[in-house]
């Protein structure tokens, strides 16, 4: 998810929004719609393929029912829920579950307990998206490469049963090998950034959607009776009359709307207007035509249910379609990878993950970041998924659970944002959210049927990430509470030093403090050991707000406490990375002239020690201590000049 730029304080964060609408629409195609745009490759295949563990026969009634469910899922969940309503939840230009969590919690005036529920739901939704970020690259690329086999490009299997079985196994390993090679290359080049590649994403994805529409129209004219699927009664009759099997098929139908959450998450990149236009003008028509075309093909040739998408293309176009599908799935994977980076950055800034090494890969584009640890963990997880599940049909069982739960959480958070922030009436909000929740609960129930077939994986990933985030946040709160027990206020410290002044040495000392108004422990230790203080002392506190972006006008606040003592408060949004040298340059506008390269920075380093009465259970304390070791050095994270930092350690009981 490639953010437009706000790297310089003088740059408008909405810089990309100044581009023409057409340019934004094209750019959005490659980033926003890559995931949902590649769903036609495997959605109907999983519904009707004999190789799928949960499938139905490709009969006339079943085809009308399933295609109807697919079309109306796109209309209700994507068009109505996300495009019409959820995109209104604009957190200063940003979208996504964490932004919606901030909106929902800020609009509440009720009990802290209810606000805590909002925060926990938002965190769990964000944690589930990490699982989505692992599965999407694996299933997308794997399904595209399977087109080599499904399209007949690798030849026909032998007629002998034993030889055919061996041939299938060899083909499976070949497809897995190609998929893993593509994924390795994709993750290996992430450090370069996506600024240059991004120029081609939109046009390639645009060509992909045009091809989807063309393939669909070619078969639709031969079987126009599939157009009856627009009647929602066909979907209803399929569910009512099909028994348990038709209900389970909902889990495969849901594959058509995976990626819908990205429309909201990427709102800050391109704006709601270009996303809506791209969807209604090109994406939705192309998807609908392709699903209808696949349905028309299967009505004429139900024996092609094992791979309806690639069987749509004429023989001469099969290889180009496989190559184009591979490019489209790589783009979809790239969008999820960079989206995971953005999500990680937000979690770090909000204090739910330890500080990680985050590199900005563009001087002009905001959000163009690379997080090495996340990148390699994603890569190994994707490769492990390919090896463990072996084909897209098996992976499809793991797909959907995380996305449906995230969509359900979004509906819940949207309700509270609408009620408490926008003051919508219960009569207006409740029926709408209940409609969305009922549909999503049906999809979730159907997906949970596949729990033991792989649906457990994204839930396990979500629970692990959620546990890590809540443990880190709780641990940091306990550390702050422990340190504040013996901490003085900055005013009390200044008064004490005025009465009993220590030896003064030349220069400027900047003490980083995590708690506003409290005297940093590093300063107290410095006085204890050196019995001296610099002639100018600055207490600096950096605050991450719930808003995604803080404008330069609100970035810094300077206050003179006493002669030689200053308090500097820097404010950043959760999509911004703190830059201390730039912050200090802005202090000049408020009467404090200081240069980072000539100052000395004092940082406290906490050594976590479990207390006799621990604030967390023992295993969470060990997890917190381990996570602390992964955290990037504060000096590096805050971009403090090398060689200007002195760290003072302190044991802290939690």
Give the pLDDT confidence of 449-466 residue by residue, as tens digits. 888 888 888 889 999 999
- Taking every pair of C-alpha atoms in the chain, what is the biggest distance, in angstroms? 97
Mean pLDDT of the chain: 86
Does residue 140 surpass a pLDDT of 60?
Answer: yes
- Would you state the pLDDT for residue 507? 92
- Would you state the pLDDT for residue 480? 79
- Would you state the pLDDT for residue 19? 53
Q: Which residues pair with 557 in a beta bridge?
A: 569
Q: Where are the domains of the chain?
A: 25-454, 485-653
Q: Give the three-class secondary structure for 565.
A: strand
Higher pLDDT residue, 366 or 174?
174
**Most confidently modeled range among 288-302, 403-417, 487-501, 636-650:** 288-302
Q: How many angstroms separate the CA atoms of 531 and 503, rounded? A: 7
Does residue 77 surpass a pLDDT of 90?
Answer: yes
- Would you state the pLDDT for residue 491? 85
C-alpha closest to that of 383 among 119, 625, 186: 186
What are the angstrom distances between the C-alpha of 199 and each of 2, 208, 267, 371, 399?
Answer: 11, 15, 18, 22, 29
What are the angstrom distances between the C-alpha of 409 and each of 79, 261, 414?
Answer: 18, 11, 8
Give the pLDDT confidence of 375-393 residue by residue, as tens digits. 999 999 999 999 999 888 8
C-alpha closest to that of 239 among 226, 224, 253, 228: 253
Write the CB contacts of 355 (distance below 8 Å, at least 6 apart in sequence). Answer: 348, 631, 632, 634, 637
Q: How many angstroms separate the CA atoms of 571 and 583, rounded? A: 9
Higher pLDDT residue, 336 or 465?
465
Does residue 528 surpass a pLDDT of 60?
Answer: yes
Does residue 3 surpass a pLDDT of 60?
Answer: no
- Would you state the pLDDT for residue 610? 66
Residues 408, 441 contacting (CB under 8 angstroms) = yes
Give the pLDDT confidence of 464-514 residue by residue, as tens digits. 999 999 999 998 888 877 776 666 788 888 888 888 888 889 999 999 887
Average pLDDT over residues 135-141: 91
Residue 432, token pair as written in the block: 């709408």
β 565-572/556-562 pair status:
antiparallel
Residues 536, 566 contacting (CB under 8 angstroms) = yes
pTM for the model: 0.82
Our CA angle for 351, 357, 359, nearest 5°, is 115
C-alpha closest to that of 654 among 482, 515, 485: 482
- Would you state the pLDDT for residue 384? 94
Write the CB contacts of 102 (distance below 8 Å, at least 6 apart in sequence). Answer: 91, 122, 546, 547, 574
pLDDT confidence band for 357 (50 / 70 / 90): confident
pLDDT confidence band for 411 (50 / 70 / 90): very high
Residue 112, token pair as written in the block: 């802290």
Q: How many angstroms separate the CA atoms of 524 and 265, rounded? A: 44
Give the pLDDT confidence of 24-59 residue by residue, as tens digits. 788 778 778 888 999 999 999 999 999 888 889 999
Q: How many angstroms separate the CA atoms of 104 and 413, rounded? A: 6
- Would you state the pLDDT for residue 310? 93
Residues 470, 499 contacting (CB under 8 angstroms) = no
Q: For domain 25-454, which architecture applies?
A: Up-down Bundle (1.20)
State how far Cα 196 lies from the chain centre.
21
Q: Helices 112-145 and 372-389: crossing angle, nearest 10°?
A: 60
- Would you state the pLDDT for residue 612? 66
Give the pLDDT confidence of 97-119 residue by residue, as tens digits. 888 888 888 755 556 677 888 88
Residues 302, 311 contacting (CB under 8 angstroms) = no
Provide the percentage of residues in the chain whose pLDDT is more than 70. 91
Report the number of secondary-structure helices (H) and strands (E) in the chain: 28, 8
Q: How many angstroms separate the CA atoms of 441 and 124, rounded? A: 17
- Would you state the pLDDT for residue 567? 93
CB burial readout 511-543, b (16+ within 10 A) else e: bbbbeeebbbbbbbebbeeeeebbebbbbbbbe
- Would you state the pLDDT for residue 440? 95
Residue 66, token pair as written in the block: 């399933």
Give the pLDDT confidence of 197-231 residue by residue, as tens digits. 556 788 899 999 999 999 999 999 999 999 999 99
pLDDT confidence band for 4 (50 / 70 / 90): very low
C-alpha closest to that of 91 among 107, 75, 68: 107
**Most confidently modeled range among 84-98, 140-154, 458-472:** 458-472
- For 414, phi then psi, to 5°, come to -60, -40
State how far Cα 268 lies from the chain centre.
13
Give the pLDDT confidence of 247-303 residue by residue, as tens digits. 999 999 999 998 888 788 877 667 788 889 999 999 999 999 999 999 999 999 999
Does residue 515 surpass a pLDDT of 70?
Answer: yes
Give the pLDDT confidence of 533-588 residue by residue, as tens digits. 999 999 999 988 877 788 888 899 999 998 889 999 999 887 787 889 999 999 99
Residue 185, token pair as written in the block: 């290359």
């Amino acid at each position: 998810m490639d953010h437009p730029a706000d790297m310089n304080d003088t740059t408008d964060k909405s810089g990309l929004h100044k581009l023409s609408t057409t340019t934004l629409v094209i750019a959005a195609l490659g980033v926003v719609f890559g995931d949902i745009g590649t769903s036609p490759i495997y959605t109907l295949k999983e519904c009707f393929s004999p190789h799928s563990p949960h499938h139905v026969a490709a009969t006339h009634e079943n085809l009308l029912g399933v295609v109807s469910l697919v079309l109306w899922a796109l209309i209700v969940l994507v068009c109505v829920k996300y495009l019409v309503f959820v995109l209104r939840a604009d957190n200063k230009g940003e979208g996504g579950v964490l932004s919606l969590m901030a909106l929902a919690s800020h609009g509440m005036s009720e009990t802290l307990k209810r606000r805590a529920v909002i925060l926990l739901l938002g965190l769990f939704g964000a944690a589930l998206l990490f699982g989505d970020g692992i599965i999407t690259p694996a299933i997308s690329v794997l399904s595209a490469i399977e087109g080599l086999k499904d399209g007949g490009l690798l030849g026909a299997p032998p007629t002998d049963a034993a030889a055919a079985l061996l041939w299938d196994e060899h083909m499976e390993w070949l497809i897995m090998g190609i998929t893993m090679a593509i994924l390795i290359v994709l993750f290996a080049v992430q450090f370069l950034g996506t600024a240059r590649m991004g120029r081609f994403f939109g046009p390639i994805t645009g060509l992909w959607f045009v091809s989807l529409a063309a393939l669909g129209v070619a078969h639709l004219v031969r079987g126009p009776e599939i157009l009856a699927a627009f009647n929602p009664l066909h979907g209803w009759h399929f569910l009512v009359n099909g028994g348990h099997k038709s209900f389970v098929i909902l889990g495969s139908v849901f594959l058509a709307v995976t990626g819908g959450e990205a429309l909201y998450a990427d709102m800050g990149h391109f704006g709601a207007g270009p996303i809506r236009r791209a969807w209604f003008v090109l994406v939705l028509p192309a998807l609908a035509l392709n699903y209808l075309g696949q349905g028309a093909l299967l009505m004429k040739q139900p024996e092609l249910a094992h791979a309806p998408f690639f069987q749509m293309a004429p023989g001469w176009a099969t290889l180009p379609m496989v190559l184009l599908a591979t490019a489209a799935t790589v783009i979809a994977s790239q969008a999820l990878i960079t989206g995971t980076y953005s999500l990680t950055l937000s979690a770090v800034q909000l204090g739910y993950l330890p500080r990680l090494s985050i590199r900005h890969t563009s001087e002009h584009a905001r959000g163009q970041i690379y997080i090495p640890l996340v990148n390699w963990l994603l890569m190994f997880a994707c490769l492990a998924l390919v090896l463990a599940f072996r084909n897209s049909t098996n992976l499809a069982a793991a797909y959907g659970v995380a996305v449906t739960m995230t969509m359900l959480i979004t509906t819940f958070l949207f309700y509270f944002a609408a009620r408490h922030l926008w003051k919508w009436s219960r009569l207006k909000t409740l029926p709408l959210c209940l409609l969305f929740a009922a549909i999503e609960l049906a999809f979730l129930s159907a997906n949970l049927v596949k729990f033991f077939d792989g649906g457990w994986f994204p839930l396990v990933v979500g629970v692990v990430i959620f546990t890590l985030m809540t443990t880190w946040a709780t641990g940091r709160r306990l550390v702050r509470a422990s340190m504040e027990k013996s901490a003085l206020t900055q005013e009390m410290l200044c008064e004490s030093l005025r009465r009993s002044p220590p030896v003064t040495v030349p220069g400027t000392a900047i003490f980083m403090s995590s708690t506003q108004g409290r005297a940093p422990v590093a300063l107290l230790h410095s006085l204890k050991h050196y019995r001296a203080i610099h002639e100018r002392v600055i207490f600096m506190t950096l605050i991450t707000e719930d808003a995604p972006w803080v404008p330069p006008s609100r970035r810094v606040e300077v206050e003179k406490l006493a002669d030689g003592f200053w308090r500097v408060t820097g404010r950043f949004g959760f999509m911004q990375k703190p830059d201390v040298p730039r912050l200090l340059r802005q202090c000049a506008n408020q009467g404090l002239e200081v240069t980072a390269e000539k100052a000395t920075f004092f940082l406290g380093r906490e050594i976590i020690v479990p207390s006799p009465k621990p604030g967390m259970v023992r295993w969470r304390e060990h997890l917190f201590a381990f996570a602390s070791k992964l955290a990037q050095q504060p000096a590096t994270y805050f971009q403090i000049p090398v060689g200007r930092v002195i760290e003072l350690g302190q044991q802290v009981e939690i």
